[in-house]
Structure 1
Amino acid sequence: MANIQIRKYQDDDAESVKEIFISGMSEHVPSSFTHMLKQPLTQMVLMCSFCALMTSSKSLLLPILAVTLLLAGARQMVVYLFNNYIDTSLKKDLNSINETYLQSKNSCFWVAEGDGRVVGTVACLPAVNAPECLELKRMSVRRSHRGMGIAKALCRTVADFTRERGYPAVVLYTSVVQTDAQKLYEHMGYKKIREFVVPEVAARIMNFTLFEYRLDLQQDGVRD
C-alpha cells in the first residue's frame, strides 16, 4: 500500500468514482454469462431446442444457428441486467454522493488515492434492512491496483467508522459470481448469513443469487 492514501470523497473525484464503478461491474458480465450457462434450465432449453430442430429439419445447420442465436440472446440478457443496474446506480447515489453519504455523521464515502489518481472506492450508510447496522457499499478497486491490500484497507476503514459510531455490525451484499469479493470478505471476518435470488425476471431466469454478509464488531463507543 505504498503511496496509497484513503481519504473522504471530494467533488473532483466524481468522474473517477463513476469510471471505477462502471469498469468493476462490467467485469462481471462474462462470469455471469458462464453462471447462466451452468444452470439446468438453460441447458435444458438449449438441448431441447437443438434436438427438436434437428428432428424436424433433418439438418444440422438450422439447430446450430438456432442455438447460436439463443446463446447470443442469453448474453444480451446478462448485459441488459448489468447495464440496468449501472444506469440505476449512476442516476441515484452515485449522482449525488455528497447528499447520500456525506451529510450524515453515520454515513461516508472514501476513495483510495495513489500518485494523484483515484484507484479505489468504498462507502457506508445505515442499512435499510438492518437499521441497527451500517452497510458497506460501492467497494471497488481498479484492476491495475489489485493485490496491493487496498481492498482490505477500505474494509478496515468502514469497520473502524462503524465501530466509532457505536454500531454493532457491518453488513454487505455481493453476488454469486463475485468469488474474489467473497474470499476477501470472509478473510476480513465477515460471515455469510443469507442468500437470495434477485427478484427481477431476468435475474430469476439466470438464478442470479446475492449473498448477505455480516461482520460483528467489538464496541468502543456509544451511538447517539
Structure 2
Amino acid sequence: MAELKIRRYRDDDDEDVREIFTLGMSEHIPSSFMHILKQPLTQMILVCVLSALLTSSMSILLIILTVTLLLAAGRQGVSYMVTKYIQTSLKQDFSHIRQTYLESPNSCFWVAESQGSVVGAVACSPTQFENFLELKRMSVKKSYRGRGIAKALCRTVADFAREQGFQGIVLHTTVVQTDAQKLYEHMGYHKIREFVVPEVIARLTNFTITEYGFNLKQNRD
C-alpha cells in the first residue's frame, strides 16, 4: 500500500485507537458463541432440556420458545463477557497509552495511517520471558483488512525488537481468532503452547489461548 504509513502513537490518536480496538474485539462475539455451542457440555445441556420438554409438554411452540430463549441468553452472556473485557482494557493501558508504552523502557505503540486516517494499531512491551517482547493490542479496521496492514504492523514490532537487542517476540490469541492465527503462522510465528483461560466459564467451554513465538535470529525480513 503506497499510501500506508506506520508511525508512533500520538495523543490525538486516542479516540481512533480505542474505537478500532472496541470494534475489533466485538467482532469475536458471534464466533465465540458458535464455539460454545459446539462444545459437548453445551450440547448435552440442550439435549437434556429438549428431552425434558418433550416428556413434560406436547407443545411444539413451548419447546421452540424455550430453546430460543436459551440461545438468546447464551449469546447475551457471551456479549457481556466480551464487553466486560473491552471495558477493562479501555480502563487499563488504553487509558494511559503514552505512560504505558511510549514512556516505558522497551515498549512502544504504533498506528497505521492510510490517507490521513488511523486504520490499525499495535503495541509491544516486555514479557516474563527474558530477551523477548510481547506483541499485543493489534487490530485493523475491517474495511482495510487484506491490504497487508497487519503484516506491516508485525514487521514494525519485529524491527523494533531487533533494534532493542531482543531475541524474539511472543503473542497470544484466542481459539476463535482463526484469521489472526493464520496471519501469524504465515509471518513465521510458531505455537509454543495452548492453555485454558482460568475463569470457570472458560474452562467449562474449553476457551483456549494459544501462545506464539517468533525467533528474530531465525526469521529475518
Distance in 1 (alpha carbons) for counterparts of 2:201 and 2:121? 28
Q: Establish whether residue 38 from structure 1 lines up as the match of residue 38 from structure 2.
A: yes
| Structure 1 alignment gaps of length 5 or more | 220-224
Q: Aligned-pair distance for 1:73?
A: 1.2
For residues 1-224 of structure 1, the aligned pairs below 5 Å read 1-127=1-127, 129-218=128-217
Q: Aligned-pair distance for 1:171?
A: 0.2
Specify the code of the residue in structure 2 equivalent to 1:200.
E
Q: Which runs of 4+ in 1 moved over 4 A?
A: none
Q: Aligned-pair distance for 1:105?
A: 3.5
Distance in 2 (alpha carbons) for counterparts of 1:89 and 1:204? 22
Provide Cα deviations, 1:49-79, integer angstroms capped at 9, x if missing partner: 0111110123322222221111111111110
Distance in 2 (alpha carbons) for counterparts of 1:185 and 1:215? 9
Farther off after superposition, 35-44 or 62-71: 62-71
Q: Aligned-pair distance for 1:181?
A: 0.3
Q: Does structure 2 retain, via aligned residues, the 8 Å contact 1:192–1:213?
A: yes
Q: Aligned-pair distance for 1:201?
A: 2.4
Partner of 1:222: none
Distance in 1 (alpha carbons) for counterparts of 2:61 and 2:22? 38
Provide Cα deviations, 1:120-168, integer angstroms capped at 9, x if missing partner: 00000001x3243100001101111111111001000001111111111
Specify the code of the residue in structure 1 equivalent to 2:164.
R
Specify the code of the residue in structure 2 equivalent to 1:126.
P
Specify the code of the residue in structure 2 equivalent to 1:199.
P
Using the aligned pairs only, state the percent identity.
67
TM-score using structure 2 length: 0.95
Q: Aligned-pair distance for 1:204?
A: 2.3
Specify the code of the residue in structure 2 equivalent to 1:135.
E
Q: Does structure 2 retain, via aligned residues, the 8 Å contact 1:49–1:63?
A: no
Specify the code of the residue in structure 2 equivalent to 1:79.
S
Specify the code of the residue in structure 2 equivalent to 1:83.
T
Distance in 1 (alpha carbons) for counterparts of 2:199 and 2:96? 25
Provide Cα deviations, 1:13-36, integer angstroms capped at 9, x if missing partner: 000000000010001111111111
Q: Does structure 2 retain, via aligned residues, the 8 Å contact 1:77–1:202?
A: no
Distance in 2 (alpha carbons) for counterparts of 1:16 and 1:201? 33
Distance in 2 (alpha carbons) for counterparts of 1:105 and 1:161? 12
Distance in 2 (alpha carbons) for counterparts of 1:104 and 1:92? 15
Distance in 2 (alpha carbons) for counterparts of 1:76 and 1:202? 14
What's the secondary structure of 2:157's corresponding residue? helix
Query: Aligned residues, how many?
Result: 218
Q: Aligned-pair distance for 1:200?
A: 1.7
